[in-house]
Amino acid sequence: MAIRWANFEYGVVDTTWPTHVEEQERLLNCTHWYRLQAHTNIPNYWPYLGAFRLRGRLEDCELHVFRRGQDRIFVARAVSDNVLWLNVTLSSHKEALKATRTFAMSVEVIGSIYIPARAVRGLALSDRSVDWTEIGVDRAEKMDGTGLRSQVAKEAIKVMQKYLERHEQFQRFDQNSGPPRSSPEGRRAAAQTREGKETKHRFYFIPLKAVVNDRLGARFERKLAQLRTHVTPSLVTPSLVFHGAPSQEPQAVVMTGRNELMARTVRRADRAWVALAAVTAARESCEVSQWLQEEAVDQGYHVLCISEQEPIQLYVEGLQSQMLQLQGGKLVERLEEKLHIRRHLEFLEEGQSTVTQWPKQSWAVFTSEGERWRPEELDELVEGYRGVALLFEGGVWRWPPVRPGFRRSVLPGVVLETVATRPALFSLDLAPESGTADASASRLLRHAAATAERRLFRSETESQVSEERTSDQAWLSYGSTPELRELKDFTARVLRIPATYFEEKLQVLRYQKGQYYDAHRDYWDPAEFPYEDRFLHANSQTWLMRHATFFWYLQRPEKGGETWFPRAHGGPIPWDEWTACDSRGVKMGKDRVAILFYSLYSSGDVDDYSWHCGCPVENGTKWAANSWVWNQPFEPPFAQRMPPHPAELGDAEL
Ligand SMILES: O=C(O)CCC(=O)C(=O)O
Ligand SMILES: [Fe+2]
């Protein structure tokens, strides 16, 4: 959907509600009369601008801004058929988003961005080298409509480049004076500063996607990519924001849509600053299809669509057929009620009727970009989010397998391809044409094999040499070399699980002719090991288990040595045929450099379909390595137990 920027004027008339009755009536009788109400009772307000596209036509209504007490009510006239500029002065980002939502009930907001205008002004004032008024209105007016758009574009690009080059400066500025502490951003920023972590910016700017020529286009693509590493990527869309100029009027405003570039004139600058935002065609609703499951192959996995159209949609178990609308009340409570999220996992002891119960860490919601939200933060964060979110009852990210053959690009040049949905089994595809991912993976893997070779010893299972597993192995601490650190970081990024969840060592395996590893699972089945301590995290006192295995093939043998998943696609356990490596299920390790499979479902329960075996090597030597990832971090912050349910509290008191 391309946005049409029609001619428009921009301006905010800072007036009061008209006193003439006729005037009021005229406004109220406008065929489309939209109202945005915002509260600005926090003195340290945080001004935002928003851009909206309207669904209907706004006719005959003037642009008005008026005030009543502490509230500011904005009535805006569409400046074209379908574009409306709205200048909103609000107390916080959250307020701005809330207001947008209210507004969105009557108009279709196809995208909006919020620029902390105070920061923009600060930048402009503190950074003289950026000439904010580089494009003067005279030139712009002359150029506009006279076929000289590319000239304007070039000018705009110059300004943008300078602006983006000073992105770092912008960040520093933001960190010093940042959002008000009273705002969610402010609190978060303050907390992060306390932890000594980099501030994550919730606001963002969108660089010009140059369309003048390919060279400049590519340059802006790079800037865009850079920008995405600084802010939550979903917030950056390849459109444009521009152009701010303090206390200068009139000014030129240059905008691009996806493939067009235009110059416009701003007639009246608002107050001391102006920052304008352009919107691109935005998602009209969520793109859920790549997150849904075709069959109920996972447990404790749910998909949320948070869109402008209330209410939030919940796809229970990630199934299209189980879509519910969440209406009213606190989202946390609505989710817990609809999903009956368990606070314990239960297992039957082998050969007994005794059930063991394990307290579970809290569930969590993740944005489709992998940002983790705890239930306590949910209601607040949802306000500022549009798009798909995933709820994992076990509190850890798990790539939904969708269907066999499904390919998902998880990092540039890195694709996870679904091999089976039961168990969730993927192969890693590094695009050779991307060069870097492929080359660096081979370099890292060669390093791992060479380092391991000097430290090999006979593999053990449960700390004992056994005939179940006849390979040699070495444990390599990820911290011991830069390459291993890099390998761990890469794996963490692919899995979207923090590096603190990784077993601290990489296990490198060498299988020579005849060596194998019987079919097994990478988790410890509580039914087999019914002693408690090892399944409880020492700090969080909740269920601790291996969550995923990322298995690297460092060197393939000439024959044999595949990894066999006998139960893939739902088959039975191959009792007493632990190394059969026959046509049941699937065999991996023949081509790709790595595989990923999950030992736990999204609920935290163990997945008994994840049985696998290192097939006997028939010829040559096989080198491989396990990156094991747990369901909880080994370093703080540790996972949390959910706040007790009122019913549980009741029981405890009895
Ligand atoms: O060698 C293989 O292919 C599988 C090894 C394995 O499953 C393990 O080390 O846990
Ligand atoms: Fe294994």
Per-residue pLDDT of 27-39, as tens digits, reads 433 333 333 322 2
Ligand 2 center from residue 460 Cα (angstroms): 12
- Return the best residue to mutate from 473, 523, 551, 621 for the ligand 1 pocket (most ligand atoms within 8 A of CB): 551
pLDDT > 90 in the chain, percent: 30
> What confidence score (pLDDT) does residue 394 get?
96
CB of 463 within 8 A of CB of 630?
no
CB 616 less than 6 A from any atom of ligand 1: no
Query: Among positive and negative, which fits the CA dihedral 276, 282, 285, 289?
Result: negative
Domain that holds residue 616: 411-630
| Better-scored residue on pLDDT, 27 or 482 | 482
**Taking 80 as the threshold, does the pLDDT of residue 526 lie above it?**
yes
* Closest ligand to residue 581's CA: 1
pLDDT tens by residue, 248-274: 222 222 333 222 222 222 222 222 122
Ligand 1 center from residue 298 Cα (angstroms): 23
Structure tokens at 402: 């969708």
Distance (Å, whole) CA 577 – CA 529: 22
Distance (Å, whole) CA 653 – CA 228: 50
Q: Which residue, judged by its Cα, is nearest atom 10 of ligand 1? A: 522
CB 563 less than 6 A from any atom of ligand 1: yes
Q: Which residues contact 457 (CB under 8 A, 6 or more apart)?
A: 472, 473, 474
Indicate whether 462 belongs to any domain.
yes
List helix spans (H) across 390-528: 436-453, 482-495
Indicate the residue among 392, 426, 453 that finishes a domain.
392
Distance (Å, whole) CA 568 – CA 578: 14
Distance (Å, whole) CA 581 – CA 522: 18
List helix spans (H) across 127-204: 137-143, 149-165, 167-177, 184-194
Are 320 and 435 in a shared domain?
no
CB of 122 within 8 A of CB of 173?
yes
Are 424 and 488 in a shared domain?
yes
Indicate whether 284 belongs to any domain.
no
Are 71 and 38 in a shared domain?
yes
Indicate whether 501 belongs to any domain.
yes
Distance (Å, whole) CA 171 – CA 116: 12
> What confidence score (pLDDT) does residue 457 get?
80
Out of 153-162, 221-230, 249-258, 577-586, which region has the weakest mean confidence (pLDDT)? 249-258
3-state secondary structure of 14: strand
Query: Among positive and negative, which fits the CA dihedral 110, 116, 122, 127?
Result: negative
Give the residue-averaged pLDDT of 493-513.
Answer: 93
Q: Which atom of ligand 1 is nearest to the CA of 507?
A: 9
* Closest ligand to residue 469's CA: 1
CB 427 less than 6 A from any atom of ligand 1: no
> What confidence score (pLDDT) does residue 35 get?
30
Indicate whether 225 belongs to any domain.
yes
Are 259 and 298 in a shared domain?
no
CB 91 less than 6 A from any atom of ligand 1: no
Q: Which atom of ligand 1 is nearest to the CA of 615?
A: 3
Distance (Å, whole) CA 555 – CA 405: 25
Are 358 and 425 in a shared domain?
no
pLDDT tens by residue, 84-130: 333 333 334 444 444 444 433 333 222 222 222 222 222 222 222 22
Which neighbouring-strand residues pair with 265? 252
Distance (Å, whole) CA 34 – CA 109: 13
Ligand 2 center from residue 529 Cα (angstroms): 17
Q: Among 365, 366, 316, 321, which residue's Cα sits nearest to residue 340? A: 316
pLDDT tens by residue, 406-456: 999 888 788 999 999 999 999 998 876 555 566 677 788 888 888 888 888
Residue whose pair of structure tokens reads 């701010």 in the numeric block: 244
SS3 content of the chain, % helix, strand, coil (to 5): 25, 25, 45
pLDDT tens by residue, 606-616: 999 999 999 99
Ligand 2 center from residue 531 Cα (angstroms): 22
Ligand 2 center from residue 195 Cα (angstroms): 37
Task: Give the angle 22-28-32 at the CA atoms, nearest 5°.
Answer: 140
Ligand 2 center from residue 478 Cα (angstroms): 19
Is the ipTM here above 0.85?
A: yes
Are 387 and 428 in a shared domain?
no
- Return the best residue to mutate from 613, 615, 629 for the ligand 1 pocket (most ligand atoms within 8 A of CB): 613
Tell me the pLDDT of the chain averaged across its residues: 64
Q: Which residue, judged by its Cα, is nearest atom 2 of ligand 1? A: 614
Structure tokens at 473: 């192995």
3-state secondary structure of 51: strand
CB 473 less than 6 A from any atom of ligand 1: no
Indicate whether 283 belongs to any domain.
no
**Taking 80 as the threshold, does the pLDDT of residue 574 lie above it?**
yes
CB 470 less than 6 A from any atom of ligand 1: no
CB 599 less than 6 A from any atom of ligand 1: no
* Closest ligand to residue 625's CA: 1
Q: Which atom of ligand 1 is nearest to the CA of 622?
A: 1
**Taking 70 as the threshold, does the pLDDT of residue 216 lie above it?**
no
Task: Give the angle 165-169-171 at the CA atoms, nearest 5°.
Answer: 110
Are 230 and 340 in a shared domain?
no
CB 522 less than 6 A from any atom of ligand 1: yes
Distance (Å, whole) CA 220 – CA 208: 7
The CA radius of gyration of the chain, in Å to the nearest whole number, is 29
Work out the pLDDT band at 241, boundaries 50, 70, 90. Answer: very low
Count CB atoms within 10 A of the CB of residue 570. Answer: 13
Distance (Å, whole) CA 76 – CA 36: 9
Are 514 and 420 in a shared domain?
yes
Are 333 and 222 in a shared domain?
no
Structure tokens at 252: 């030129």
**Peptide bond preceding 250: is omega within 30 degrees of 0, i.e. cis?**
yes
Backbone angles phi, psi at 219, to 5 degrees: -60, -40
Distance (Å, whole) CA 204 – CA 231: 7
Indicate the residue among 210, 235, 266 that finishes a domain.
266
Indicate whether 609 belongs to any domain.
yes
Distance (Å, whole) CA 399 – CA 495: 8
Q: Which residue, judged by its Cα, is nearest atom 1 of ligand 1? A: 614
Indicate whether 640 belongs to any domain.
no
Distance (Å, whole) CA 165 – CA 182: 30
Count CB atoms within 10 A of the CB of residue 17. Answer: 14
**Taking 60 as the threshold, does the pLDDT of residue 328 lie above it?**
yes
**Taking 50 as the threshold, does the pLDDT of residue 313 lie above it?**
yes
Q: Which atom of ligand 1 is nearest to the CA of 562?
A: 3
Ligand 1 center from residue 418 Cα (angstroms): 19
- Number of domains observed in the structure of the chain: 3
CATH number where 604 lies: 2.60.120.620
Ligand 2 center from residue 592 Cα (angstroms): 17
> What confidence score (pLDDT) does residue 309 get?
61
Indicate whether 642 belongs to any domain.
no
| Better-scored residue on pLDDT, 420 or 58 | 420
Residue whose pair of structure tokens reads 């964060």 in the numeric block: 381
Are 310 and 229 in a shared domain?
no
CA dist list (Å): 223 to 116, 218, 277: 20, 9, 18
Distance (Å, whole) CA 227 – CA 40: 31
CB of 485 within 8 A of CB of 479?
yes
> What confidence score (pLDDT) does residue 405 get?
92
Q: Which residue, judged by its Cα, is nearest atom 9 of ligand 1? A: 626
Count CB atoms within 10 A of the CB of residue 353. Answer: 6
Are 73 and 176 in a shared domain?
yes
Indicate the residue among 266, 300, 329 that finishes a domain.
266
As a residue count, the chain comes to 654
Are 370 and 440 in a shared domain?
no
Residue whose pair of structure tokens reads 């949802």 in the numeric block: 382
Distance (Å, whole) CA 163 – CA 166: 5
Which neighbouring-strand residues pair with 309? none
Give the residue-averaged pLDDT of 221-248.
Answer: 38
